[in-house]
Amino acid sequence: MDKLIILNLGEGNFEQGFTVTLQIGNENVRPTVEITGELPPNPEIIRDYHRWQSIYRNLRLPSRPIGLPKELNQVPSLEYCQQVSEEFKVSFNTWLASDSFRSIRETLLEKLMLADNIRMLLQTKDLRLQKFPWHLWDLIERYPQAEIALSAPAYEQVNLNRIATTSDKVKILAILGNSQGIDTKADQALLNLLPNTDITFLVEPQCLDLTDQLWEQNWQILFFAGHSSTQETNQTGKIYINQTESLTIVNCSVLLWTENLCCGLGRFGVR
């Protein structure tokens, strides 16, 4: 069965904790379950996260995102980075197993079956929570057909009736951006395996070419693979569509929502 889960991490911070609301229901219907809980204060976990990220950013890997500053004098080893990553995963899951969050966890275990197709939307305004690796939550790892994605706490449904469709195939615009040190051919091969899709690939396009494609056709999904970075304020992300041009997430949003596009952005800040 297809399940839709909305996990809203509302008001709060790492020093005072977060209020949490959980909704569970079937896809395309109103939720049948809604409960509340809390994530307790945990300022240490954000320090653990920054430590892990600082070490990762200083690895000498060909796929290291462009534009990230070095923060350590010594170059750490990959083994040490993996060790710190595992330590963060343990502390992260320990936090999510807190007593005040237990009602959320137990409700999910009670209402979900291992065979369910599960889509979990995580809603939070906190930029640091948005960057946490939620796919490493041990509860999510229990369900092989589960996926987790970020969602805005407040949103307005797009009028899909305005999108002209001429077939049952999903129209995907796939941007293969700056791929220095990245095997984007693997991404292209995986996309080509998707059934019932009509995919157009743009390999390191110029900004003008990308804009023309967005305006000339009705796309339903935008996919991006390539380098990306976050500016020093940690509030603005960039994707590098080729080796000299980049777009901020705000630029992308203006283009996408102007065209009434249902946006499924792939691999932002991952590779």
Q: pLDDT per residue over 69-88, tens digit each?
A: 444 456 678 888 889 999 99
d(CA 197, CA 170): 5
Q: What is the pLDDT at residue 235?
A: 60
CB-CB contact of 201 with 171 (8 Å): no
End residue of a domain, out of 114, 131, 151: 151
End residue of a domain, out of 151, 180, 213: 151
Q: What is the pLDDT at residue 258?
A: 42
User: 115-146 as b/e, with b when 16 or more CB fall inside 10 Å?
Assistant: ebebbbbbbbebeebeebebebbebbeebeeb
- Does one domain contain both 131 and 188? no
Q: What is the pLDDT at residue 31?
A: 86
Domain enclosing residue 248, as ranges: 160-258
Q: What is the pTM of this model?
A: 0.66
d(CA 268, CA 202): 16
**What's 101's DSSP letter?**
G
Strands 237-240 and 246-248: antiparallel
- Does one domain contain both 172 and 141? no
Spatial CB neighbours of 259, under 8 Å, sequence gap ≥ 6: 214, 215, 218, 219
End residue of a domain, out of 114, 134, 151: 151
- Does one domain contain both 123 and 164? no
User: 147-186 as b/e, with b when 16 or more CB fall inside 10 Å?
Assistant: ebeeeeeeeeeeeeeeeeeeeeebbbbbbbbbbeebebee
d(CA 123, CA 102): 19
In three-state secondary structure terms, 107 is helix
CB-CB contact of 27 with 118 (8 Å): no
Residues 251-268 pLDDT 10s:
665 555 444 444 444 333
The CA-based diameter of the chain, rounded to the nearest angstrom, is 57
Q: What is the pLDDT at residue 219?
A: 84
**What's 248's DSSP letter?**
E
- Does one domain contain both 126 and 222? no
- Does one domain contain both 119 and 197? no
Count the Cβ atoms, other than its own, within 10 Å of residue 78: 12
Q: What is the pLDDT at residue 246?
A: 85
What's the token pair of residue 144?
């092989």
- Does one domain contain both 8 and 132? yes
Report helix angle 43-57 to 78-96, nearest 10: 160
Q: What is the amino acid identity at position 82?
A: Q
d(CA 204, CA 175): 7
Q: What is the pLDDT at residue 255?
A: 54
Which residues, given as ranges, of the chain have pLDDT below 70?
60-75, 154-167, 231-235, 249-271
Output the CA–CA distances (angstroms, integers) from residue 174 to 218, 220, 244, in the order listed: 13, 11, 19
- Does one domain contain both 171 and 142? no
Backbone angles phi, psi at 166, to 5 degrees: -110, -5
